[in-house]
Structure 1
């Protein structure tokens, strides 16, 4: 509970920024092409055709005229390690980078950076000519060759961009394996270990790996060196092409065409925590170079956090590296030993939430730099972005699926950041660029590494600064029924963001009949003839823009009626192992009813389902129980970055979850071992690929994730059905969370159809909550109550007395006690303590009961999960039926926060 106020206040910071952001509904995401095979980089041609590459060697083109994507070239590339030397089958190599010449309209030149097929380990920068809609392979001119090693992974870089002077920038990775350094600095100087030593590349002034190169391509396929690179031409033990050095994997770069500033996202290492003698916890970086410089890797990370000079031979640590005087004395170094001073990152962040940049969030990390938007470059564009984004840098995250706009001052110093389109759904964006029309194009790689992900796509974000078409909502009170069928149509919810006057038209059509047109916003219509009808609502604004929504009406078959009643007990909560009496009734105009036995009981589907969350069943109760699926853990995995490395039943960069389940099924300590692995990261069990640490995931959440994974080893059996009348006793399966679960009873019936019309289904659902409610989820709370989130849990801080939180419509039938968990940490919150009164109807309504005085405590483990607070049990005055409950927090002597009310559990004994 430390620093709760600090975390909360930091969390409020973005709201002052978001108030200035253009309305999100002015932006539209349009999918241009999808189902790609590892798309990596794109370039937009002057006529809005889009070139993009796939890692296995295909160059593709999207045409806005035909709206089709074609292959315009296939480049033979290497994508494998040298298997004979112990490497992994799939490398990061391949077709890596793409851009077009600044003078493309005249010369049609396209630049590619790739790993050529063959036995020679190298990457090359080559120029080709685009002729019509095909890339002329025979026009190839190799500008630059960079020797590499292909025995071990990783880190290729490969991004290409240009400045306003026609200089080409190319990023390269450190070509170094991180797999034997525990996520810290890979500086293994032992003989034969150069693949594990980034001092051979990133901090080597005589090597082009781990760099951002700046050259000036010439017409004859050669290049010259611009003034201002890091080392002058002819300087011994240096390469003049180097603009910036000390990079790990600068995967996407961007050059501000106005001021020449270079930006990049550097994908950082994997260490989950600070380690004395090794170095800091891992961080990713967004870098900015206003001039040539050294950015520190592998000696420093983030804002120059230093690693120790660790000796892999003796396993002993030397001194910390000095950012003012970095020194490379590795035997694998062919360049200078005295290096330029290390420069700090522009923005940096760990796996956990960054205290300095909280908007970046938490989770996996893969930093990517996007373009800087300058409105003056889009004066004649059809859909230029608004002035709000003028001079802002767009950065994005491959793992966390966000785009952020960064504001700098005239010098280039960081000022603030804001989320760009917070509700935009992304599938691991891997490149983006503005097109001539002002649109933002984005390549989405998809969720899994080294896979042709079906969700991968090329999209375009269009901005509409003018009139917007209406947002149409169409509803009908009935969409099926017997003749004559009276239907009340509704357009309620239809809106126009520009507040234009709207015209409504309902057109009702049936094959072979003349359409009926209704012009009221919410008309009623009587269907007298048998058949299936289309009812189309068209809404037109004052500027002539329109949109439509369509409904289907089936006239001639009355839907069945299903009723589900709980005949005894509490109707808000379920209580484990306590019977619930229920009864289901079904009637259908054409089929009959359960009561007269024309509808057999076997045709009525009745299930009782325990769930950890609202989405998916844990176990379905009938004559036999279905196996557990641990949905809470699945939901946590779906919300995390796990899918970037794992799939349920197929291998990605990490093992399939089913493989993990089978391996650990009989291991009694599996939950503890794997939970620890999720939180701390690590490698070695499934190969050398390191799993990132997830310090933002708590032990309870990690355990739920592991329990779900382990459950995949179980064989699933279909559930049996319940009879129309009876008793069921809720059972919480192993791994289920009694504090978060719900119990759902569902009854449904599908009729036989009638008069040639298809069958209709009716159902009724009863949802009983867990008897434990989290007070942080209370829908209503008074002023001076702070709401905040810790992990997946919503919490409250009671900042002043005579405040309350309330739950509406709670059934108190059979409830005798309320048990409250309340934390009053004196050390972390300076809690004053107090009492909690429970009232009905209002904060001043009848008093059901109250706690004793809740004393503040000094125990640092209180409410940490190690030693949860003792429950405060309140015997309440009996009150049957549904009530609005108010939990009123009191302490008239308090001069600060009272406590943190965590949960309330309703008891029947």
Structure 2
């Protein structure tokens, strides 16, 4: 799977005629919910008959998510290699899964050079490794990267479809067609795979699994069984990387996104600009790669003499490569449904421009029952979703009776909806849609891969539903001066409240406790004379009886405390295994500055160190944040007993017991006694069900010896930095909650500093101009496609104890200079190193330069070689003590 790396903001919502007779549904009727967060590199998911979601991660894990309880169960996994974009790539549940519990996985074993399609059984929510049946193997070369496809889906006829990539290095042909026929260069020749009728790579395969774990081949595939120099499993051929496709559950038609090459423009000697394509496959066929792309033709090319040859014939393409083991004369090339380059598309302007990873999305079929389940309306019946993993973009497509494109409409309205946002100014963005399907309820479920190539904390499973009927108005309060001494004058505004249907609203303000009416205007002011804890409620009503409510907490007689770190400074480097000293200053009008009663103020100061170790797995940071907002840490610490048991002890008791999650959630919500001794736990009515699930998930994920958050109390102290695994960075949080004043309740303040590993991964900064890439022998991701003037910003960094800086770089081109500066391009020069050609892009070297300036800096890396592009790759930089 080769992903392009440029990002593009979501397209604005533009309506177009043709999707249905009625007017397009308005944006505000779509509701976006995040069901599950922090999924490391998700790939595919499927709904099981019981409503649960099975999903896989590229690292080899299979997991089960229950949308009702929000509980994730790890069902097991397979051993895989993740080198060269390999891993656990695809999964599908058997059509008879409810009775036979069979699941199919497509993955990259570390002991076999290629992909394996295996069938397993699920027993008691675990992957039964003893039930494994290997149906199909797809041998590959692993000398060079990339393209493996990997989607698995069953069609309505019971056939299993598998997508496979061309397994060809894309970098040796200047972004054009890889046709290198020289000896030993077969990894750079897609004619060995995509254009080879006797090879399973660069194809859509179609097989019918049998009861005994073997398979049969449908007669209607591209080549009949027994035909020499062909593989009968091939349903369609001529793909570069048909990474994501979907199947119409009624017609059986496939919609296949094929990721294209990187050529930036047309060439008379080579052929067309790089195009991604969407292909409609209703019958077996050849889709052209590597001889054509986007209805355009490549020229044959001699890599020995660097001389172009004749243009290929789409009606009778021939594969004359010495790496071809199949037929020389190939089936005629079928045209794509969509084709678009990295630049603005002339044929399909709604697609915009930017990075490209075309994906074939699901077809929607309407059912009247969806009106009560949140399913999509009839307007979208029989429409297809096309999406792009990289831009990201989502569009609705409608075809005519012959299967040709009739109309196109952006699907970005739902993606920018944010809790009733009336104008799109607040944006809920799907970062990288990696898989999607319509659920049994008719709502759209989207697996969002997250911001970067690697494991992302912002990855999530999203539900997009449609709300019918009159919608309640949205109530919003802007409140000024909500904390302070009595008498307290508060200003209140409901100006941001609105009604989706633009109906006239009425307003009602009340003060609690007591229910005193404060007014009925959109904006009011009120003065509260007596100290205490209050809530000002706002109710907004529309003429049809819809009501929206919101409240604002008011504390009279107490001030918000101020808290800050005296040390460490923001951007301090970590030393694994060594203690990190901290000092905190607290200032509070009522409690003083800590010098008067340091023990009491220190006890109420909670310090939390969070270590980053390469990606969050289960939304734990959200659970931790919710605990800090509540009273959890007044009674619990991670590894020591306070009022209640250590959280680690709770995790040890319930680890690996998914049935313990729901009772624990209910104990948080309703309180309990006798579970951990005589001291009971108070109820927490202010926490909702979803929040309680996140809290329990965080607690149950704690493990001894791992880099879990460290909790301490006090205005000063030391926290030991973990050494295994070495953290990639961290956050030090401090929170102080005062004691309140009389009847006025307690208030809290917080502070935070960033902690950095001495080795800064290049992708951890803000990359401007260059691209995030993977593979090529890097330590995870790296920053590549670097031109003169590109920049990476790392924020505040403390250099007091560093003397030199090292860079891990490679260059297969002209190289250039890396300049570290304080802030802007004309800021103080901190260090400078020259990067020369290292012999190949995969040849990494380490270069070291002295630091010219010490102290606190706003660190930025600038790449310099005027008039040149493609200078180098940067994997990391390390500050040496």
Report the TM-score range of the alignment, normalised by the length of the smaller protein.
Answer: 0.5 to 0.7
* Residue 20 of structure 2 corresponds to residue 29 of structure 1: no
In 2, the alpha carbon distance for the partners of 1:12 and 1:105 equals: 40
- Give the corresponding residue for 2:273: 281
* Other structure's SS at 1:495 match: coil
Pair 715,20 (structure 1): closer, same or farther in 2 beyond 3 Å: farther
In 1, the alpha carbon distance for the partners of 2:768 and 2:471 equals: 33
Aligned residue runs from structure 1 range 301-316, under 5 A: 301-303=293-295, 305-316=296-307
In 2, the alpha carbon distance for the partners of 1:718 and 1:531 equals: 45
Deviations 1:859-897 (A, max 9, x none): xxxxxxxxxxxxxxxxxxxxxxxxxxxxxxxxxxxxxxx
Pair 288,71 (structure 1): closer, same or farther in 2 beyond 3 Å: same
Pair 376,644 (structure 1): closer, same or farther in 2 beyond 3 Å: farther
Deviation at 1:257, TM superposition (A): 2.0
Q: Is the 8 A contact 2:37 2:457 kept in 1?
A: yes
Deviations 1:748-790 (A, max 9, x none): xxxxxxxxxxxxxxxxxxxxxxxxxxxxxxxxxxxxxxxxxxx
The match for 1:46 among 46, 49, 52 is: 49
The match for 2:442 among 438, 462, 472 is: 438
- Give the corresponding residue for 2:86: 93
- Give the corresponding residue for 2:61: 58
In 2, the alpha carbon distance for the partners of 1:160 and 1:275 equals: 36
In 2, the alpha carbon distance for the partners of 1:462 and 1:495 equals: 21
In 1, the alpha carbon distance for the partners of 2:121 and 2:403 equals: 36
In 1, the alpha carbon distance for the partners of 2:341 and 2:362 equals: 23
Pair 381,507 (structure 1): closer, same or farther in 2 beyond 3 Å: closer
Pair 410,166 (structure 1): closer, same or farther in 2 beyond 3 Å: same
In 1, the alpha carbon distance for the partners of 2:70 and 2:79 equals: 27
Q: Is the 8 A contact 1:39 1:55 kept in 2?
A: yes
* Residue 511 of structure 2 corresponds to residue 520 of structure 1: no
* Other structure's SS at 2:373 match: coil
- Give the corresponding residue for 1:171: 163
In 1, the alpha carbon distance for the partners of 2:35 and 2:816 equals: 42
In 2, the alpha carbon distance for the partners of 1:715 and 1:164 equals: 66
In 1, the alpha carbon distance for the partners of 2:497 and 2:485 equals: 29
TM-score after normalising by structure 2: 0.61
- Give the corresponding residue for 1:340: 331
Deviation at 1:133, TM superposition (A): 2.5
Q: Is the 8 A contact 1:179 1:688 kept in 2?
A: no
In 1, the alpha carbon distance for the partners of 2:135 and 2:354 equals: 39
Q: Is the 8 A contact 2:13 2:410 kept in 1?
A: no
* Residue 345 of structure 2 corresponds to residue 192 of structure 1: no
In 2, the alpha carbon distance for the partners of 1:499 and 1:320 equals: 59
Pair 275,209 (structure 1): closer, same or farther in 2 beyond 3 Å: same
* Residue 479 of structure 2 corresponds to residue 483 of structure 1: no
Structure 1: give runs of 5+ residues left out of the alignment.
1-9, 81-90, 560-588, 591-633, 673-682, 691-711, 720-733, 736-909
- Give the corresponding residue for 2:531: 530
In 1, the alpha carbon distance for the partners of 2:548 and 2:557 equals: 30
TM-score after normalising by structure 1: 0.59
Deviation at 1:75, TM superposition (A): 0.9
In 1, the alpha carbon distance for the partners of 2:284 and 2:209 equals: 19
In 2, the alpha carbon distance for the partners of 1:148 and 1:126 equals: 17
Deviations 1:794-837 (A, max 9, x none): xxxxxxxxxxxxxxxxxxxxxxxxxxxxxxxxxxxxxxxxxxxx
The match for 2:195 among 194, 198, 203 is: 203
- Give the corresponding residue for 2:363: 372
The match for 1:322 among 313, 317, 323 is: 313
Deviation at 1:686, TM superposition (A): 10
Most deviating of 51-60 and 381-390: 381-390
Pair 520,14 (structure 1): closer, same or farther in 2 beyond 3 Å: closer
- Give the corresponding residue for 2:264: 272
- Give the corresponding residue for 2:247: 255
Most deviating of 10-19 and 527-536: 10-19
- Give the corresponding residue for 1:411: 402
* Other structure's SS at 2:452 match: coil
The match for 1:112 among 105, 116, 119 is: 105
The match for 1:665 among 803, 807, 818 is: 818
- Give the corresponding residue for 1:123: 115
Deviations 1:468-487 (A, max 9, x none): 23211112354356533343
* Other structure's SS at 1:359 match: helix
In 2, the alpha carbon distance for the partners of 1:685 and 1:286 equals: 38
- Give the corresponding residue for 1:652: 781
Pair 524,375 (structure 1): closer, same or farther in 2 beyond 3 Å: same
Deviation at 1:312, TM superposition (A): 1.5
Q: Is the 8 A contact 2:38 2:456 kept in 1?
A: yes
Most deviating of 483-492 and 249-258: 483-492
Deviation at 1:516, TM superposition (A): 4.5
Q: Is the 8 A contact 2:507 2:541 kept in 1?
A: yes
Aligned residue runs from structure 1 range 385-534, under 5 A: 385-422=376-413, 423=416, 424-449=428-453, 451-480=454-483, 483-498=486-501, 506-509=509-512, 516=516, 518=518, 520=520, 522=522, 524-531=525-532, 533-534=534-535
Deviations 1:220-265 (A, max 9, x none): 2222112321111111100111010000000001111222221111
Paired residues, what number?
A: 589
- Give the corresponding residue for 1:157: 149
* Other structure's SS at 1:199 match: helix
Most deviating of 650-659 and 287-296: 650-659
* Other structure's SS at 2:151 match: strand
In 2, the alpha carbon distance for the partners of 1:56 and 1:76 equals: 8
Pair 11,71 (structure 1): closer, same or farther in 2 beyond 3 Å: closer
Deviation at 1:717, TM superposition (A): 4.5
* Residue 541 of structure 2 corresponds to residue 550 of structure 1: no
Deviation at 1:195, TM superposition (A): 1.2
Q: Is the 8 A contact 1:381 1:436 kept in 2?
A: no
Q: Is the 8 A contact 1:665 1:713 kept in 2?
A: no
- Give the corresponding residue for 2:665: none
Q: Is the 8 A contact 1:405 1:420 kept in 2?
A: yes
Q: Is the 8 A contact 1:152 1:177 kept in 2?
A: yes
Deviation at 1:336, TM superposition (A): 0.2
Deviation at 1:345, TM superposition (A): 1.4
Deviation at 1:279, TM superposition (A): 1.7
Pair 381,131 (structure 1): closer, same or farther in 2 beyond 3 Å: farther
In 1, the alpha carbon distance for the partners of 2:493 and 2:352 equals: 41
Deviation at 1:182, TM superposition (A): 1.2
Deviation at 1:20, TM superposition (A): 3.6
Q: Is the 8 A contact 1:378 1:436 kept in 2?
A: no
Which of 1 and 2 has greater Rg? 1
Structure of higher RCO (CA pairs closer than 8 Å, 6+ residues apart): 2
RMSD, aligned α-carbons: 3.8
Most deviating of 109-118 and 153-162: 109-118
* Other structure's SS at 1:310 match: strand
Deviation at 1:323, TM superposition (A): 0.9
